[in-house]
Every structure is written in C-alpha cells, then in structure tokens.
Chains A and B, each alone.
Chain A
Amino acid sequence: MSVVESRAKPTMATTGSSVAASVAALGKIRELNVFLALIVVGALISLATPYFLTTNNLMGVFRSFSMTAIMSIGMVMVIITGGIDLSVGSVLGLSSLVTAICFGSGLPTAVCIGAGLLVGVAFGAFNGLLITGIGLPPFIATLGSLSIGRGLMYIVTRGVPATPDTPDIFAVLGQGYVGPVPVPVVIMFAMMIGFSILMQKTRFGRHVYATGGNEQAARLSGVKTNRVKLIVYILSGAIAALAGVISFSRYLSAEPASGFGAELDVIAAAAIGGASLSGGVGSVAGAVIGAALVGIIANGVVLMNINTYAQQAITGAVILIAVSLDVLRSRRKGG
C-alpha cells in the first residue's frame, strides 16, 4: 500500500506549483537519509582502518569525488526535468582537451578557460535544441553528442595525451588549497549552495520541478517548459566543461580517455541522492551526497586492503544496502 502512496504522489497533484511543493518536501527527507547513510558508512570504514579519518585522506577523498559531484549538480537538474544527459563525460574530456590546446598555442589563461567552458555551453545548447526543437528523446540526443564529443577527441589527439606547459597560476584551480581544503572541493561546496538556492528558492527552480513532475500541467499553468529544458541542458554542459577545466588543471594532461564512462558515475550519484529518473524528484545536495557516498566507499575498499577483484561487487552491494535502508526509512515515515 505504502508503495502505491509514494509512487502516486507526484501525479495526484494537478497544478505545477503543488507538485513542486510536495516533491521538494520529499526531496528534503530523502537527502537527509542519504546523508545518514554516508555518516554510517564513514563510521564503519573508520572503525576498520586508522588511515581513513585523517585530514589528508579526507581532503584527498573529497578532491577525488568532487569532479563527479560537480557534474552531478548539472545532471540532477536535467533529471528533474525528466531528461538525461549522457554527454557529460565526453564534454569533460573535450573541454579539458580544448583548454590544453589553447595553452599549447600560447593563449592567455583566461582565454583558455573560456574556450574550455564554451565547449560545454555549445554541447549543452546542441543537446537542448535537438530535444526541444526536433523533439528527439534526451537519451538519443545526448548519446549522439557523447559519441561526437569522444570522436572529436580521438581525431584531435590521435590517442596521445596533450600535455602543454601552463602558467603556475592556472594549476591553483585543480591543485591549490584554501587552508587545508583543496580548491576543487571549495568550488564543489560553493556550487552546491548556489544551485540549491536556485532550485529551492527561485521561480526558475520551481519551474524545473514542475516541468518534470507533470509537463502538460506545467505548460498549462504558464511554464515555458522548452525554455526550461534548454537552460538545464546548457547548464549541465557548462558545468561538465568546468569539471573538465578543473580536471586538466589538476593533472595538466588531457588524456584521450578522460571522462570515459563518467556519465554513469554522475547519473548514479544523482539517483543515489534521491533523484527519480522519471523526473520531478531530486535535489542538488542529494546528488553531491550521493557522489560522496560512492567516493568514500571507493577510498575505503583500498584503505581496508579488500581484494581488488572483489571491490566492485562490494561497492555495488554497499550502495544498494545504503539506499535501500534510506528508502525503507522514508516509507515508514509515510514519506
């Protein structure tokens, strides 16, 4: 019975705004639970190994999952509209490559960063127009741009990583620290706060939820759903490109395979954080927490010296257990 109740929730409401209100409330409960799961898993790992709960390790872990977390912020907005963006891994790779090429031809730092970000905006706009203009399903449109992006990388690199010389100031973005906190982690938290406010407190945010909750109802109540979709795909592309620029700054090497398969990690982070792939449900903070959960498990299995061949299966099992507990808890609460 309770399953039916929670599933039926978004469709029971008839107008865009009440859909938005109810799913936003649901989202808050969900992200709190995933956060609890994160704490529990972290506590278990720190009991098992003394190396986990050190400042250096925690900062290292945060920096490791920050790329997935940053991209999941763009992804969760797309997923909330009922779409999906499979091109984020390719965009990350291509933007880091374009940034590298710009440095290689001696352009100033700001121009190189701008060019990298532009790749994401262009891919996002391309995706958005295919989906809203031609009416392609998001899965197909972004699958196509995934291939195009990856293909362009192979054409340009011919398989050789691009490793140009860069000014020291650029390395701060990926390798620098603010106090003990790595710069990419600072960026991640700043974006999490900024986009949470955008999604929870602004009209645009409500429109994003409404578009995914019930697109027809949203359109009837005056939401320009196509415009909303176009914007979230552009945001997702731009954010993935930002991750690409940061990642190039961190490794100073644009690998032809960088970001390969990253879209799955990013989608998983959003879904673990409570986003529903059928749209209307999810939150920015939840997606970041989802990325964190996957990140600390990946770190934990190495620190605990778990057999490498078993690591992937264990990672999967821990994620399933953590999220199942979270779902069961919120169901008991009647959420």
Chain B
Amino acid sequence: MTDYFEVHDRDGAARLGELRLADPVTTPGLVDDVLADAGSEWTADRQIPEGDEASLTVLPHRALPGGTPEEVQAAFASDYPDVDYPSAAVVSPDTAADDGADAYVLSTAQSVAGHAEAFVDAIVRTRDAIPADSALYLPGVATPGNVATLAYAGVDLVDTDRAVVKGTRGKYLTADGEHFLEDLTELPCACPACQGPRADFDREDCVAHNEYTLRAALATVRERIRQGRLRDYLEGQARHEQWHTAVFRRLDRQYGYLEQRTPVIRRAEITAASDDTLRRVEIQRFAQRVTDRYRCRFDNPLVLVPCSARKPYSDSQSHGQFHDAVQFRAHTVSMTSPIGVVPQELELTYPAQHYDSVVTGDWSATELEFVSDVLGAYLRENEYPRMIAHVPAEYRPICERVEDDLGVEFEYTVVDHPTTTDSLANLASALAGEDKYRKRERQHNTLRAVADYQFGRGAGDALFEDIRVRARYPKLKAHDPGGEQLAALVPQYGVLSLTLAGARRWVDSAAPTKRVEIDDFVPHGSVLAPGVVDASEAIRVGDEVVVEGPNAFAVGRAEMHGREMAESTRGIAASVRHVAER
C-alpha cells in the first residue's frame, strides 16, 4: 500500500508527486529535512521504529552497494515490516520488489550515477519492480546539473548531500556543469550566497550556493513537468555533460519503458531542435501508427507536399495554395521533420500540429533517413494510382531514395519553389482529368482515419461503417443512422471522444478495447485508483477508456497508464465523460 505518496502529473517517466507528510513535499524534491533513518542492520539488530506522520522513515535495512555479489544480495536482502506511517525501503535493482513502502531507496545510486548504461538499467529494472505509485529516492547523487536527467528517468526524491560535499571541496555547481571555484573570475549566479565580492567567496559560500542552485534546478524540473516539456529542456540542458545525454539516448532505446509512460495527447508543444527529437516516443509512436494502423481510403492520386510552419497545415498560406491547385482531386500527405509523413486526415492529431522545428532549408542525414524510412513504410502499406511529389529541391533526395528502395516513380511538379505560379500550375495540370472526391467521403474518411490511428488497424471501419457526419471540419461528429451521436473529433488533439453509444460500439467491435474494470460504484467526474479492480496493460495517459463495473458503464480518458491504474492506491485513474448506471 502506498498511502503517503501520490502522483499528480506525469511527463513521460517523470512525475510531479506529493510526499504526503504532515508538511507535504512536492516531488521531484529534496528529502533532507524529512528523512528519518531507522539504521543499518549490518551493524545491529534493529527494532521496528515508532515512525511518525511528519517524516519519511527509512525502515531498518541492510543496504547492498554496487558490486555486491548476487548470492550475497540474496542472502542479506532485507525483509520490511508493514507499517502505518510514511516509510521507505532500501533496495538494489536486484532485490527491488513491492515491499509495501511509500518510497524506495536505491542503494546502488553511487555506482550508477555517472554511468549511463548502468544508470538506465538500474532505474528501469527498479521502477518495473516497485509499485508504480511509489516514490524512488536516489541518495547522495543529485547535483544542479543532473537532477533533470534523474527526474526524466523516473527519480522522485533526492538530497543535497553531493552538492554540499562538492561545495566543501571547492566545486561550484551550476545547471550547466561544475567548476573549480578558483577558476572562476566571476560568479555566474545571483543566489543569496553569490551576492558578495568574488574575493570573499569561500567554500562555505560555495556549499550554500550549491544548495540554492540545486533547489532552483529542482523547481525548473517541476515546472517543466507541469508544462509537459521536460524532454524539450533536457535535449538542450543534458548536452553539458556526456552521461546525461547518453542517459536520455539510452532511455529512447528502452522504448517500452518510456512509451508506457508517455501520454498519447497533450497540449504542450514539442521543440524539434535536434536529431534527438526524432527518437522521442511521441514522434516514433506517430510514425509507427501512421504506417501500422492508418490506411488511406481514397482512390485518388497521392500528392506529397512540404509541411508548413503554421499548424494545422491547412491553415497555412502555402497549403491553401496547394489546396486550390489540388481541388479535392488528390490525397495530400505532408512530409516533415520530425514527424515523418502526415496524411491530410491526421493533420490535427497529436503531435502533428504540436511541434515546431528549426527551419534552415537543410536537412541532416538523420532527418533524411528518418523521413525516407517513414515515407517508404507508408507507401508499402498504401497504394496509389499515381504519385506526385510537389516538393522543393531539399526534399528531392528523400523522394529519390524512396523511389530507389521501392522501385516506384514520382511525378515532380515543382520548378523552383512549391508556391510559385509555375509550380502550382504544374500541380493543377498534373491532376487534370482526375475525379474529385466529395465532402462526405472526405469527412467519413477523416473520422475513420483518426479511429484507425487511435484504436487500431481497421477500427475506422469497425466503428464507423454506417455513420452520418454532422457539423463542420474540424469539429466533426459521427452519428449512427438513428441520429445518436457516437463520437466527436476534438480539434485540439485530433482524437475522437466517444459517447456511451460510441463506447458500446467499441466494446462490441473487433477493435481492441481499453478497459478499466471498477468496483461496484457509479463514477462521476473521475475514477480514483483504489476503485480500479483491473485495467488493460495497453492503456496510456490520454487514451479513451471504457470504464465498467457491476453498477456502471462509462467512457472517459485515462489519467494513468494501465499498470499504474491497477497498482496504484492513490490518485485519479481516469476522468469520466459519460456514465450510465446498470
């Protein structure tokens, strides 16, 4: 049971949480003032401590530092008592398990901090072994430079120990690294400790500065999590130290760990300022769903166009011009870094209208490779009678690569720039004689495409075979032949929100349903984690979910991932949109 820790907000593996002590601690945060260590059992037999609500009691432990042989770990691993006050259990990645504690202290922190491979392995293994709603404490390793990386990986609690010890050694810490105090001509900081003259600044001041800076770095991390933008910060900040960069790159390779924890929709914008952005879960997931789940339902030719800075693309001037030339005679797919390819039906769908990239007119080799891989995979899944590439010169290498890989040919229509009169005329004349598709077809195909993307391959047909569409794009609504609303397209995220009738269709359809099984109550507003009996593993934050129990059938949006719903004892599991009593 985790009674004294609650996760309020999530940003990938990072969480904004609350250590619910008499004086609550917002996490990621410092535990210096609230930690009560009941002591090591290596030195003495310990009684179960009294404990209290004001502190996080570290239960009597035999800490196993890095390098402890496996058999010794197995022989000496601690057994922890069940206590009814805030408690922490000391574990190693090998011994970590659900010990019923609110927090877990990683005894190998000193061994793994600084070594990206070992660090990622330790965090991923430990996080997977302890309950999702417990806090993870890495003792003695936090610095202003590494806390963003620690939090990004899933660490909730840290302390000032290393920052203080470094200060006593004349190491001046900042978010961008570490300096020998004697090497600094001036103090690059405005904290209270750095107010005096440089000449008077001694190691005691350095200790104070390090603590202030660590606190500020933690506040930055917490704000970033609130905004859902820790990754964007980290892609820049982590570059100051190699192991930090290596950590997030290695975590990108631990796709399962991050994907499980990354929301499927959010308001925050993605800053695409480095090649690393291409490996973000949001980007990979979109590319994967577009190639694996989405299916083009139009019979018209393909027109590949460049993306626009303005989102959604259709709001941009350039896409307006493309549209005028195409005149509903082709299926428009935008090529973009870092997203890959965006079929016109998915231009609203997160993150297709939620990113901003650095535009220089040059593409990096990684971008070229990524976009051509996605385009290639897309064209293997979707066949077109003709393929027109209305793209500027810098996109040509991508198209040519795909032509070579797939043995296909594009018709190129751009002479200098896609929006010049000549280029647009070329595009229009290339489509001369092609049939126009109707508005109804466009609207139906849009709703079905989003359903495919959101619920799985074929879901668009399974859910929306016989629909009537009401309202105007982008606020499309799907109704059944009897007039009852099934779903609405949410323009902000480009996903569907279902009604109860839509949810029933989903349950009855072949498309895999994401279910939250609850106890015998009728949820209103939200479903709290303790009321969840079970939940589909595949649920991600932001997913549509069906909530079912003996007394209720409801539909809503997930606030936790599936495992977290099933394991957590605190927090909101899902927000409920519509509910019916049974």
The judgment on whether A and B are partners is no
Instruction: Spell out A's residues near B (CB within 8 Å).
Output: none
Instruction: Spell out B's residues near A (CB within 8 Å).
Output: none
